[in-house]
Structure 1
Amino acid sequence: MTASTDSPRSRPWIKPAAACALVLALAGIGYTAFDSGTPAPNVTFISIAGDKISTESLRGKVVMVNFWATSCTTCVKEMPQMVETYNKYKAQGLEFVAVAMQYDPPNYVLNFTETRKLPFTVAIDSAGDIARQFGDVTLTPTTFLIDKDGRIIKKYVGEPDFAALHKLLEKELAS
């Protein structure tokens, strides 16, 4: 018996194509879950210094919330640019909260923060509640840009295009 030209064997690309379509569909769902203008969840971050900062208290400022992990190579790679971005725009009102993922050991986060002299708020999401409230963040890095009215205006999964991010920050900080 010979395989017909319509058999799955004659189309080996079908499974990878279907898998790719599924991944793209799920990514699309993730992006539409926080469409531009979606209110940021009302959460309270607890910094590694013990300070409590709520998204409500940050109204009136442009805020970046970056979910990261010390075990994430892309997170570690992008962190110097995150520091540069914060330092460049903090005088104009940018706030930045780096949220370490639930699985990240607190002593690793503390060590990373101290050795890299991170200048912004670093919080640990010890129960995973903050990641859940931001749409079940599981991929790192994931960064949200929140406008002065408390609306999510951009979500980045992976390292952002920093030139484009800076243009968007300049626009939002000027408004």
Structure 2
Amino acid sequence: MSACRALRRPLSRRRTTLPAAAVAVLAALTLSACGSGKTSGSGGQTQFVQGTGGVSVVKERGDRQAAPDLTGKTLEGKDLDVAGDYKGKIVVLNVWGSWCSPCRAEAPNLVKVANDYKAKGVQFVGLDTRDPDPAPGLKFEKEFEVPYPSLYDSSGKLLLRFPKGSLNPQAIPSTIFIDRDGKIAARALKALTEDELRKTLDPLVAEK
């Protein structure tokens, strides 16, 4: 089964039960993930550099936009407040789904880098979207030995909180890099390799 088919199937099955706004954002994610990989919706507000391979970076700290309030329940049913619980840390937010083949491909890379950078003040957080219930996501976490929590966002409500014109998630998988000040510093719209994760994180770790 192709990645595009895997993306479309959960959306069509749940279309009648999701709020209209959530359906719209998930449809946009589907199109972006199955399209050419080009980004859209950047607007004229954020001064970011479009990197090769779908990674965009905001180099100037003053040009970065604040990350939205990301609070909710994890797959394990625990409360998580990303900004409050990880204040002062660099946060790597990975948008994924257990049904997504590219997400499965990049999972070992995320796990490896999350473990390697934990002592450097970097916290990884997942955002599991469009799984019909937590069970598939929990199985995914166990299979890949994921050491960090994932917010459960089956309807895509948390994705709607990202400000328009920011480096917001536009594909599944997407990875958002949030600096120590809670600002969006970079975004990837594809499955990432270990090397790509490290190259994006190292300049953020070096910031004082």
**Which TM-score band applies after superposition, normalised by the shorter structure?**
0.7 to 0.9
CA contact (8 A) 1:31 1:155 kept: no
Query: C-alpha deviations, 1:90-144, integer Å up to 9, x for none?
Result: 1111111111103443211111112222111122103321111136745200110
1:43 shift after superposition: 1.9
Give the structure 1 partner of residue 80 of structure 2.
53
| Number of residue pairs the alignment of both structures matches | 153
2:151 maps to 1:119? no
- The aligned residue for residue 149 of structure 1 is 181
Matched residue type, 2:80 = I
- Residue 39 of structure 2 corresponds to 27
| Match in the other structure for 1:16 | none
Structure 1 position 166 matched with structure 2 position 198: yes
With the length of structure 1 as denominator, give the TM-score of the two structures.
Answer: 0.76
Determine which of 76, 96, 107 is the counterpart of 1:79.
Answer: 107
Asked whether 1:108 is paired with 2:136, we answer: yes
Say which SS state the counterpart of residue 38 (structure 1) adopts.
coil
Cα deviations by residue, 1:14-63 (Å, 9 ceiling, x for unpaired): xxxxxxxxx77x72325867653111001203212222222321221000
8 Å contact 2:106–2:193 — kept in the other structure? Answer: no
- 1: CA distance, partners of 2:110 / 2:43: 22
Going from structure 1 to structure 2, the CA distance change for 1:56 and 1:93 (only over 3 Å counts) comes to: same
Task: Report the counterpart of residue 15 of structure 1 in structure 2.
Answer: none
1:38 alignment counterpart:
65
Counterpart Cα distance in 2 of 1:159 and 1:69: 12
Q: TM-score, normalised by structure 2?
A: 0.65
Maintained 8 Å contact 1:41/1:55: no
The residue type paired with residue 29 of structure 1 is G
Give unpaired runs (5+ residues) of structure 1: 1-22
Partners in 1 of 2:141 and 2:43 — Cα distance?
29
Answer yes or no: is the 8 Å Cα contact 1:43–1:55 preserved in 2.
Answer: yes
RMSD (Å) for aligned C-alpha atoms: 2.6
Q: How much does 1:148 deviate?
A: 0.1
* Contact residue 131 and residue 138 of structure 1 kept, 8 A: no
* 1:131 is aligned to 2:159: yes
How many Å separate the matches in 1 of 2:65 and 2:181? Answer: 10
Letter in 2 for 1:53: L
For residues 62-96 of structure 1, give each alpha carbon's deviation from its aligned partner in whole angstroms, at most 9, with x where no partner exists. 00011001111100000000001101101111111
User: Could you tell me how far apart the structure 2 residues matched to 1:157 and 1:143 are?
Assistant: 7
Partner of 1:91: 119
